[in-house]
A and B are shown apart, each in its own frame.
Chain A
Amino acid sequence: MKAQYIKNVDLKQLRDLKSDFWKKIQPNILPMNPTPVAMQPTQAIRSEWESKPYGLVKEVSLSAAHNGRFVAFRLEWTDPNQDENRHDNSIFSDGAAVMLASVPGAPVTLMGAPGMPVNILYWRADEGEQGRNIVAEGIGTSRTVDQEMVVCTEQWANNTWQVIIARPLKIDTKEGIAQLSSGKEMAYGVVIWNGAGGERAGIKSYAAGGDQLVIGEAG
């Protein structure tokens, strides 16, 4: 999977669902599965969800592009319900995230490991354009490091979410985020939460990128 270099586009165009360059990028279609119930971190969650369906989103389309300064991930998936505003205690928001290995060998499927962080670029429907830049070193350890660097674009129409999650390729921080540059390769994964199904936290659909994400060479 390649984050294709796009010449002469700014962040605004990268974040625009209607930008022409997106039509020219062949999306990766990733099959999604529910995260295993045995991997849920607490007994209460395992007990509640062992007999309930989750992982309702079965497939996600992923494309990626960058302009030398910013990288953008475009996600599309089918969801008959637009769950973005809470109306009650038992209503949850739709959400999506792209996970990147911050260091070589970081286990993306396990949300990292101690000393081997993964970087999660996170969107939630009720938080809109303001995404989250998250670091995790294992299940249950995710921590928002900032709410400024990750910006999102969202649109729900025709039973489909289209979401773009963008951030600078490099961020000046000591946090364990993935620092990106042309030619760099890393493991990646995608997560989708279907709010109508009560999905949140580890109750979600997950797709591991079978290959490496490559940041395309500028030129």
Chain B
Amino acid sequence: MEDSWQRIAAVEPQQTLPDGDVIIPFACWIDNQEQLSQHNGKIAVCLNGDDNLEDLSNTLHLFELIALEFPDFRDGRSYSHAQLLRDQFNFSGELRAVGDVLRDQLFFMQRCGIDSFQVREDKDPEDALKGLSDFTVKYQTAADGAPPVYKYR
């Protein structure tokens, strides 16, 4: 897939970012906002489970993409972050799952409002996308806007 974004997993002090569109850790953006305004390209932030989502809420409009990190697919905090970004903060840009992103979690991620997936490098992305269609019935409402299934009953 075409993708202009380059993810910088960690930014060292004094490090200059490569030109172009970059995804940098949220903490790094908080600390270096002024300097980053000079960056030649678009900036997106990557949130992990430890980051405080509320710190981001006033500046959401600056981003067209927010990445949500799954350091391990068993760490489910980013599902809540995705849900809140969509449902509470009305973020309408791209939400991208990064990290330990695997086929069998894609269905859940999509339902929480994540709409792009950077599948773990050693996995086949085409195969992973099959995970999106594991279920056709959704019992409960979520950020994907699906009503609870009982509304159809």
A binds B: no
